[in-house]
Structure 1
Amino acid sequence: MSSTAESGTTRGTRTVIVVGAGPTGLLLAGDLAAAGIPVTVLEKRGEGISNLSRAFVLHARTLELLDARALADDLEAVGRPLERLRLFGKLSIGLDTLPSRFNHLLVLPQYEVEKVLHRRAVDAGADFRYETELTGLTQDADGVSVHVRGPAADPGTLRASYVVGTDGMRSAVREAVGLPFPGRSVIKSVVLADVRLAEQPESLLTVDAVGDAFAFIAPFGDGYHRVIGWHRGRAVPDHEEVALDEVKEITRRALGRDFGMYDARWMSRFHSDERQAPAYRVGRVFLAGDAAHVHTPAGGQGMNTGLQDAANLGWKLARVAAGHAADALLDTYHSERHPVGASVLRSSGGIVRLAMAKTPWARAARGVLTTVLDTVGPARRAVTGRITGIGYRYPAPRGSHRLTGRRVPDVRLADGSRLHEALRGGRFVLIAPKAATPPAAGETGPLAVRHWAGDRRTALLVRPDGYAAWAAEAPGPDAVREALQAHLG
């Protein structure tokens, strides 16, 4: 099997291997290829997108990142918006007041997201190698040797400057670098089924927990619905066959009826874990998505967190691989995203534990939380910000402007465009006061210069992932030049 690049570089540009072609790997590969970084994607599956997906929602922050890649409108056209997220019982959270252009959930199967991301990565020039499995890797000062088993009769070795494992919970990349995956199984014997329904649910997403049972129903859009169910008293091994009657019984217990389920085209059983790798970087090897963290499906945060990992790592890896930034930039991937992963484990775990509350004190706590979120605005905004992803802030240097490290909304600019449009192409965007004379205007390689639509006096440098890298109030030209030099070189 031939090597991507024996030295790990191509015409002076370092190369990247992404292991795993799920949503996280596809977004990352597309970002790297669009930035001109040679990238190879290894995938154990044969070519073609699997429709056996567990994820069914895109949250606001993820839609913002996709909008910055000109992909959100295509997905909005095939998905269905939902303005309230129901968590359990009477607890639901309204999303219509989110400070985002995407003030809703978008309900659509994971494979629809994969289709769009795959097409973008292919169009940008990413090299896909299917039926190719990583069997090990070794790294040195110059790159990583990836040992693979593929369609060819003999195993082979690929060489790259960096490797990113986006290969799921049972990550071969994580195992190859010797990272543990501490945590535990939280829910065992969860059943999955794709079925037709004789009776349509009243809500686009149907979810509830009653007594010892939990059930979730979401539409594929092709006449089938995905059902996820669990019953506390039914703890059997994952390999035990699932019967439609079992799915119906769990659904009746949790939702009061089974909606006339019939014609199951696929059924399976799995267990839900809470685990997180202690490090997202080991030398030249990185982990993202389920390879780095897994948690319960409560709140629909899994695929979203992985896509946000990819958006954070992609621009950093592209700049370092192209020689435009120092290696230390790559360390910020772990320092920024590992705390987010830990937070998602806590929030999703908290939701599922409250949903399945059995003891009187736990049920009382659930009731208190429901009341607080219904009546206390700051608490509701904090929870909504966590679940939708728009509330996270990255660490900022001491003494920084209050906006540094924060997500920047999709603001309107003086030329009538939006910030997300200016971010397309993986650029930094400098938003300057109208009266200021920035050091450059228009498009200048990795930087786009724009002006505020109003009279704001803040100068704001926005990273390619939509977070503020630097900000200052009415700075002089020298201060702006120093900031650009520090972040763009």
Structure 2
Amino acid sequence: MTTILIVGAGPVGLTLAAELARYGIGVRLIDRSPRATETSKALVVWSRTLELLDRMGCTRGFLEAGLRAHGASIRSGATVLGRPRFDDIASAYDFALMIPQRDTERLLADHLRSFGVAVEREVELVGFTQADDRVEARLRHADGREERVATPWLIGCDGAHSTVRHGLGVAFGGATQGDDWLLADVRLEGAEAPPPDEIATYLHRDGPLVVFPIPGGRARIVATRGRTDPAQRRPDPTLADVQALVDRRAGGGFRVADPVWLTNFRINERKVDAYRRGRVFLAGDAAHIHSPAGGQGMNTGMQDAINLAWKLAMVERGQAAATLLDSYSPERTAVGDMVLRNAGRLTDMATLAHPAAQAARNLALRVLLGLHAVRERMATTMSEIEIAYADSPLSRGPGAGARWDPQQDAGPPPGSGREPLFVLYAADPARGAALAARFPALLEPAPRTPPDGSILVVRPDGYVGLSAAGEAWDEAERYLHALAAVPG
């Protein structure tokens, strides 16, 4: 069995490894760190990611470990400018699941072990070269021993300082913002603390302060601290520093206590131009990093991994042509651009410095957030259920590339089996079964009933690949013929 090599065992690498293992593909997942993440780091799993975890078969553990945030508030001191509600999200998971990254990694590692695969720790990628049919990689173990391995595909899920990206020599274009930010994981005490199922943003003339709920009665506070010389490192904040910011920007009324993590950070906004070079792929922070506003980073990376996994599996299993992999970079690059743009806009809005601009912003927010349509749009964007691949080389027909709503299908989610297969939806079950029989490596054998009279082909990751008229059987056949490793 050939073995795909994944570098980096954070949430992205774990997701990719688990999906490949579920599909029966040999995989090695290495990480130079001696242990998994021990801090909370990324905190939120959004609706679309939870839907995709359903396909993986591990949503239940996340729901049991996480806290459901049902909305957000945007405030100016004691004044609430608006309260977007996540109940408006058109998903069975109409909430933000607050869960520390250490628990996300633990749950994904447990899921990976259920397929007989464990993370190889203190193993470092030190170099690689590409050939036409493989990648030759050099690995270094904790005892200094070096190992040379050949892999058909190398995937860098190794974060913002990615060894894989550096090895490819690709530019990581973008910039570092000048402001220092404070992060504090604490307990909140006092009657005026924000509700424990709400993400609260306090806008202030000195900069924003945001409170995120965390399971176990804790909360995270994030706030700007102003600028320092980039060459200097600001001392880590103290609990008194955090309390002073809360008193000034949130109007006091609650206290912070029992800190478990106090640190500073700066926001980077960077992205590669393409997520693939030959037989090497990039995913997650190795390909894109951006403002934490909106909590999109980890979710976007995990969705990179899910997008890539079924394509690699179908090619490695001989189910689909190698050209299927050409769709990964354009699809996920477009999503990365969108997330970078949206997160940057949110950060820019929250950090306006001019008093007149701040006053205009607050007035506009108060008016706009009074409109249900605006609140619904905010919730939908944050949930990532509106992500679509309309311009993908895999999308054909009106509405192609859109998310297939799991709630409109009585059957199991596409892609939830032990092999990646497209799902055919056709009003004529006999002709649908005949088409599926001609492409058994691509399609589930039994067609499903479409919501209307059209022919639909839904991808293993739950997006519409083909949308065609109910009698356009030739079009459906051409679409599948182009995907097939051995045309039907």
TM bin, normalised by shorter chain, reads 0.7 to 0.9
In structure 2, the partner of 1:222 is: 216
User: What is the Cα deviation at residue 239 of structure 1?
Assistant: 6.1
Give the letter for the 2:158 counterpart. D
The answer for the alignment partner of 1:52 in structure 2 is 39
Mapped pair 1:484 → 2:470: no
Do the aligned partners of residues 187 and 325 (structure 1) sit closer, same or farther apart at CA in structure 2, a change above 3 Å counting?
farther
**Alpha-carbon RMSD:** 2.9
Aligned to 1:7: none
SS in 1 for 2:119: strand
State the one-letter code of the partner of 1:409. Answer: D
For residues 277-334 of structure 1, the C-alpha deviation after alignment (integer angstroms, 9 at most, x for no partner) is: 1221111111111111111111111111111111111111112223333332222111
User: Is there any run of 5+ residues in structure 1 with no aligned partner, and where?
Assistant: 1-9
Counterpart mapping for 1:65-464 below 5 A? 65-86=52-73, 89=76, 90-186=81-177, 188-199=179-190, 201-203=193-195, 204=197, 205-232=199-226, 237-238=232-233, 240-257=235-252, 259-359=254-354, 360-361=356-357, 363-365=359-361, 367-368=363-364, 371-372=367-368, 374-375=370-371, 377=373, 382-394=377-389, 395-396=391-392, 400-413=396-409, 416-419=410-413, 425-433=419-427, 436-439=430-433, 447-449=443-445, 456-464=452-460
The 1-side partners of 2:288 and 2:74 are apart by: 21
Q: CA–CA distance in 2 between the matches of 1:439 and 1:421? A: 18
| 1:43 positional shift | 0.8
SS of equivalent residue, structure 1 residue 159: strand
Q: Aligned-pair distance for 1:148?
A: 2.4
Indicate the SS of the match to 1:232.
strand
Any idea what SS the aligned residue of 2:88 has? Answer: coil
1:3 maps to none
Counterpart CA distance in 1 for 2:387 and 2:450 is 26
Most deviating of 401-410 and 98-107 = 98-107
Quote the offset at 1:409 in angstroms.
0.4
Percent identical residues: 32
Superposition deviation, residue 185 in structure 1: 1.4
Question: Does 1:33 find its partner at 2:29?
Answer: no
CA offsets, 1:210-256, max 9 Å, x none?
11133233343234433322222667744633322222222322322
Of 188-197 and 367-376, deviating more is 367-376
Q: 2:471: which partner in 1?
A: 475
How many Å separate the matches in 1 of 2:414 and 2:71? Answer: 25
Deviation string 1:175-228 (CA, Å, 9 cap, x unpaired) is 111112111112532222232333373323333231113323334323443332
Cα displacement (A) at 1:365: 4.6
C-alpha spacing 1:234/1:243, structure 2 compared with 1 (3 Å): farther
Residue 411 to residue 262, structure 1, CA distance change in 2 (3 Å): closer
How far apart are 1:486 and its partner, in Å?
3.0
Contact 1:217/1:227, CA 8 A, preserved across alignment = yes
Q: Is the 8 A contact 2:52 2:461 kept in 1?
A: yes
Single out whichever of 138-147 and 298-307 deviates more from structure 2.
138-147
Is the 2:67–2:214 contact (alpha carbons within 8 Å) kept by the matching residues of 1?
A: no
Equivalent-residue separation in structure 1 for 2:141 and 2:296 (angstroms):
33
Cα deviation, residue 399, structure 1:
9.8
Task: Tell me whether 300-309 or 89-98 shows the greater mean CA deviation.
Answer: 89-98
- Residues 414 and 458 of structure 2 are in contact (CA less than 8 Å); yes or no, is this contact kept in structure 1? no
| Match in the other structure for 2:6 | 18
Cα distance in 1 for residues equivalent to 2:276 and 2:464: 23
Q: Which amino acid aligns with 2:364?
A: V
Corresponding letter in the other structure for 1:257: G
* Residues 64-99 of structure 1, C-alpha deviations (whole Å, 9 max, x = no match): 111122222321222222232345652443222222
The runs of at least 4 consecutive aligned structure 1 residues that moved more than 6 Å come to none
Equivalent-residue separation in structure 2 for 1:272 and 1:177 (angstroms): 24
Deviation per CA, 1:426-445, whole angstroms, max 9, x where unpaired? Answer: 33222222655423579956
**8 Å contact from structure 2 (residues 8, 29) kept in 1:** yes
| Change beyond 3 A, Cα 1:319–1:87 | farther
- After alignment, is 423-432 or 105-114 more displaced? 423-432
CA distance, structure 2, for counterparts of residue 73 and residue 211 of structure 1: 42
Q: Normalising to structure 2: TM-score of the pair?
A: 0.88
Letter in 1 for 2:204: V
Q: CA offsets per residue over residues 354-391 of structure 1, 9 Å max, x none?
A: 112122236425643553454373x6555444322111
User: Contact conserved, 1:166 with 1:290, CA < 8 A, in 2?
Assistant: yes
2:48 match:
61
Q: 1:110 to 1:222 in 2, by over 3 A?
A: same
- Give secondary structure in 1 for the equivalent of 2:143: coil
Task: Look up the SS of the partner of 1:65 in the other structure.
Answer: helix
